Amino acid sequence: MSEKMKKTLFRSALLMTAGIVIAAGAVVSAQDNNKGSDVSKVVRLNRAPVSKEILRVKLPRPTIVKLPNGMTLLLLEDHKLPTVSFNMMIRPGQLADPDDLPGLASATADMLREGTDKRTSAQIANEVDSMGASLGASSAFGAGYTSVNASGMSGDADHILDLMSDVVLHPNFPDAEVEQFKRREQAGLEQRRSSPAFLGNEAMHKALFVEPPLSVVSATKESIDKIAAADMKKFHDQHFRPGNTLFGVSGDFKTDDMRALIEKYFGAWTGAAEPALEMPTQGAGPGSRIILVDRSDSVQTYLMAGTRTIRRTDPDFFALTVMNNVLGGGPQARLFIDLREEHSYTYGAYSSVVTNLYPGDWVGTAAVRTPVTDQSMERFVYEYKRIANEPVPESELDDARHSIIAGFALSLESPAQVLGGWMTVQYYGLPMDYWDTYPDRIAAIDAAAVQTAAKKYVDLSHIQWVAVGDRKAIQDVLKKYGPVTVVDSNGNPEP
């Protein structure tokens, strides 16, 4: 049997074993947690008993090291499986896109794997595949950093870091690969622009954030045509610096050995941290308004209603998180129950809150049948008023808080996820006990705090509305709810 086949069989067996171990661990953990439980603290509601105890956690701490070149390392050992995961966050990402080249950060990230000074695109792909490893990079709009990720067997860590350092430090953006990338991007953009959700998100960001880069959600046809290898190289040389970089590693390794290995491949990298970018402070103007994106003959109206909110470090974060869970955080939330379960206007209605280094946004969404656009708007208005004007019943509040805390508990299942939490702490400058106290802070949010957050952020006098649909069918309906501005699918005003 060849060595490659042996490796493949070993990895398959390892994955099967891991599944068994995780499942068994879940059973053991559940049994251990039930030992000594106070029956008086368990509520029985004709379903599985729910403990009212608050989750108590103390996450394993990574070793945090600042290298001489300015790069910050977070090293979290976990020896359950012979694997290792690497995650780099390199500021400032898409936030540094030139106004005339939206998508440059994303293009630069996508091209990292397409050739370096000593490897071709095919060679990189073959080396990654031969290890059964992964290697990728991306720079999402609004994220504020470029992410470079790799993972594989811990025995291949040296080889993975060799590849990872090569694509991060020495990309050469071959012209032929750039042209292929541009063709793929143009096709992808055309497909995205056929999506009502994309068009709605684009219009909402323009309404809430007004100015680039925060108002931009995608590259344009013009920017894709214009972008060149020289632009990517300039962006890379200017922003890919160790001083801008958080580098997290989790898995089966010894901390001192991993630090030495990273220094071997990244120690000669130079470049001080850049000053934080100044983000535009202007938001949507005073008053609520409605933007209608005309999508002729659409059988649905894609509705959005939102506002700007807070930075990730804002004290309102916890109350806003709980409020969002009550109102639109999932199929158990009010918007879903109202618009889908009670009225059958849509397959689903949700809301989400996004926070960042800059004030983010809170937005509710639903794709509804065109004939019920008016009734759906009424239900949005009703639920937005109710969350702001009426205290949330304690049972509903309990469900929301437990749901958030349970989701947090699930996020601790893998070392890579735990490490991701610590990178969040470093990225936003949160206190080191942040995740230890997170369940308590969520549990402490009461009905008054939820109502205060709703009054502040679910304010109908400032909510911005977007409706993507057939102008002929819905414009007169929308006028009942405020002044309507009509734009075409490219965002250009229509008469």
Domain boundary assignment for the chain: 63-266, 289-487
- Interacting residues of 474 by C-beta distance below 8 A, sequence separation 6+: 292, 301, 370, 373, 467
Asked which of 138-152, 218-232, 283-297, 385-399 is least confident by mean pLDDT, the reply is 283-297
pLDDT tens digit string along 263-303?
Answer: 999 999 999 999 999 887 766 666 899 999 999 999 999 99
**For position 246, what pLDDT does the model report?**
98
Average pLDDT, the chain: 90
* pLDDT of 343 higher than 90: yes
**For position 33, what pLDDT does the model report?**
37
Looking at per-residue confidence, does 393 or 23 come out higher? Answer: 393
- Mean pLDDT across the stretch 437-456? 97
8 Å CB contact between 422 and 481: no
pLDDT tens digit string along 407-422?
Answer: 999 888 889 999 999 9
pLDDT tens digit string along 41-94?
Answer: 434 344 444 455 667 778 899 999 999 999 999 999 999 999 999 999 999 999
Distances (CA, A) of 159 to 57, 256, 314, 340: 35, 18, 41, 51
pLDDT tens digit string along 103-122?
Answer: 999 999 999 999 999 999 99
**For position 29, what pLDDT does the model report?**
32
**Do 63-266 and 289-487 show the same overall fold?**
yes
**For position 447, what pLDDT does the model report?**
98
**For position 287, what pLDDT does the model report?**
84
Amino acid at 223: S
Looking at per-residue confidence, does 389 or 19 come out higher? Answer: 389
* pLDDT of 12 higher than 90: no
- Mean pLDDT across the stretch 337-351? 97
d(CA 281, CA 210): 9
Confidence of residue 361 (pLDDT cuts 50, 70, 90): very high
**For position 298, what pLDDT does the model report?**
96
Confidence of residue 34 (pLDDT cuts 50, 70, 90): very low
Amino acid at 290: I
Which numeric CATH code is attached to 289-487? Answer: 3.30.830.10
Q: What architecture is domain 63-266? A: 2-Layer Sandwich (3.30)
Looking at per-residue confidence, does 471 or 1 come out higher? Answer: 471
- Mean pLDDT across the stretch 361-368? 98
Confidence of residue 250 (pLDDT cuts 50, 70, 90): very high
pLDDT tens digit string along 167-200?
Answer: 999 999 999 999 999 999 999 999 999 999 999 9
* pLDDT of 434 higher than 70: yes
- Look at residues 325, 336, 369, 346 and name the one whose alpha carbon lies nearest to residue 474: 369
**For position 3, what pLDDT does the model report?**
43
Confidence of residue 30 (pLDDT cuts 50, 70, 90): very low
**For position 495, what pLDDT does the model report?**
83
- Look at residues 227, 204, 235 and name the one whose alpha carbon lies nearest to residue 217: 204
d(CA 123, CA 346): 48
Strands 484-487 and 289-294: parallel
d(CA 309, CA 237): 34
Amino acid at 371: P
**For position 54, what pLDDT does the model report?**
65
What phi, psi does 244 have (nearest 5°)?
A: -95, 5
pTM of the model: 0.87
Percentage above 70 pLDDT, the chain:
88
